[in-house]
Amino acid sequence: MNTKTKVRFCDGVYSYFILTKRFYELSHDAQHEIQRNYLWYWASFFLKETLRGLQKYGYTKELRFNKSDLKTFYPFMDKKYRFCYHFPRIYGFPKKLRLWFMRYFSAKQ
């Protein structure tokens, strides 16, 4: 049974966004380079998780953040995540389609 509703899922994505934002702020305030790199590593990790979470519902009201809030992280995104930033629902579609075809053809055999 799947108990993860849309609101709970969006709360999880929002928590990833808050963690990204906090680690990003802490990385700018860090005094040592090792600390700065460590904090930036975790900020980029949670940014990727935030963008992966956006693929399911896109930018909705339940997220409690919008595209302009993520704009501060835009220069630090990889190219594939920049596309996900602009079009989150389209980014995940080819993977869903590929998985559906794989399940369909494996069921036929």
pLDDT at 49 over 90: yes
pLDDT of 87 strictly over 90: no
Mean pLDDT over 71-75 rounds to 92
pTM above 0.85, yes or no: no
Around 90, how many Cα atoms within 13 Å sit in the side-chain half-sphere?
8
* Calpha distance 37→50 (Å, rounded): 20
Count the helix, strand and coil residues of the chain and give each as a percent rounded to the nearest 5.
85, 0, 15
d(CA 68, CA 37): 25
